[in-house]
Amino acid sequence: MDNNMGVEGLRLLITGASAGIGEGTARLAAQRGASVLLADLNDEQGERLAEDINAAGGTAVYQHCDVSNEDDLEAVMEVAKSRFGGLDVLHNNAGIHESALSDKLTLDTMSRDVFEKIISVNLTGAWLCAKYALPLLRESDNASIINAGSTSSFTGYPQCLAYGASKGGIMQLTKMLAVDLAPDGIRVNCYCPGSIHTQMVDNFLKAAPDPKAMLNTMTMTHLVPRMGQPVDVAELVCFLASPESSFVNGAVWAIDGGSLAWRGTLDILGMEPQA
């Protein structure tokens, strides 16, 4: 096993673990010796992932969970106790984008239900997970919460009204929780990915009026001229989870190929995005 990043022996709860960045993090952390509790709505994919990880010699348990449902969260924490004896790291990764729910994405067309659903999963869900995980995190001597922000925590995008509002909120929730939980020795950090190739991005592109133009908008700002991959983010999550990052707290960490570092697109530099 490769133990470079120091997650060996840690117990991670990863929400939204069945696909994308959550799946990538589960695979990498398990490879490095962490026990991973996979929580998601997609039971089929989640069960399969747990089987895969266990077959490869890792330790994974899948548990159905909607992060906005308190009964589900209670059940997940029971599983963390019974199967892993507790929890060290909460990876608040579950998230949805409004384009998965509706094609009415402008202020005049979006329904209140859609707006509130996004906030309830992406923002309230993360807050609830932290609340339910707290008693277990308090028992850990390497406790942290790692929240999924976005470049839309900082900047505007078309067709991202609810999503962007939720991600701005997550960035601030991170700082408030870092303060609140400092006396408990629980660190709280947030990472903000650029465009990472997952089903969320594929669906978002499909819903765009001009998918090619939207893809350009998303990748032409990456100074590293490609889409990110889930493993790129997983590497950062493993670092933030590990004791090596013990002095990192309340941080908002861009993992965006450099897109927040400037105001331009690659063509100005005579560059093009690579596949």
Token pair in block for residue 191 = 């990472």
Rounded to whole angstroms, the Cα distance separating 268 from 275 reads: 19
How many residues does the structure list for the chain?
275
The answer to whether 210 and 263 have CB atoms below 8 angstroms apart is: no
Tell me: does residue 96 bind ligand NAD (CB under 6 A): yes
Window of 88-96, 106-114, 180-188, 237-245 that interacts with ligand NAD by CB under 6 A = 88-96
The answer to whether 12 and 37 have CB atoms below 8 angstroms apart is: yes
Tell me: does residue 21 bind ligand NAD (CB under 6 A): yes
Choose between 8 and 203: whose C-beta lies nearer to ligand NAD: 203
Window of 17-25, 79-87, 178-186, 259-267 that interacts with ligand NAD by CB under 6 A = 17-25
Tell me: does residue 252 bind ligand NAD (CB under 6 A): no
Tell me: does residue 33 bind ligand NAD (CB under 6 A): no
157 in active site: no
Tell me: does residue 95 bind ligand NAD (CB under 6 A): yes
The answer to whether 102 and 24 have CB atoms below 8 angstroms apart is: no
Of 91, 130, 89, 90, the C-alpha closest to 7 is 89
The CA R_g of the chain, rounded to the nearest whole Å, is 18
Tell me: does residue 159 bind ligand NAD (CB under 6 A): no
Token pair in block for residue 32 = 């490095």
Contacts of residue 273, Cβ cutoff 8 Å, sequence gap at least 6:
216, 219, 220, 222, 225, 226, 227, 266
Rounded to whole angstroms, the Cα distance separating 197 from 69 reads: 28
- The DSSP 8-state label assigned to residue 230 in this structure reads H
Q: Which of 62, 132, 163, 191 is catalytic?
A: 163
The minimum distance between CB 141 and ligand NAD, in angstroms, equals: 28
String of contacts with ligand NAD for each residue 112-151, x by CB under 6 A: ---------x---x----------------------x-x-
Choose between 16 and 169: whose C-beta lies nearer to ligand NAD: 16
Tell me: does residue 99 bind ligand NAD (CB under 6 A): no
Window of 77-85, 87-95, 137-145, 244-252 that interacts with ligand NAD by CB under 6 A = 87-95
Tell me: does residue 153 bind ligand NAD (CB under 6 A): no
Rounded to whole angstroms, the Cα distance separating 275 from 271 reads: 13
* Site residues for ligand NAD per CB under 6 A: 15-16, 18-22, 40-42, 65-68, 93-96, 121, 125, 148, 150, 193, 195-196, 198-201
Q: Which residues are catalytic?
A: 163
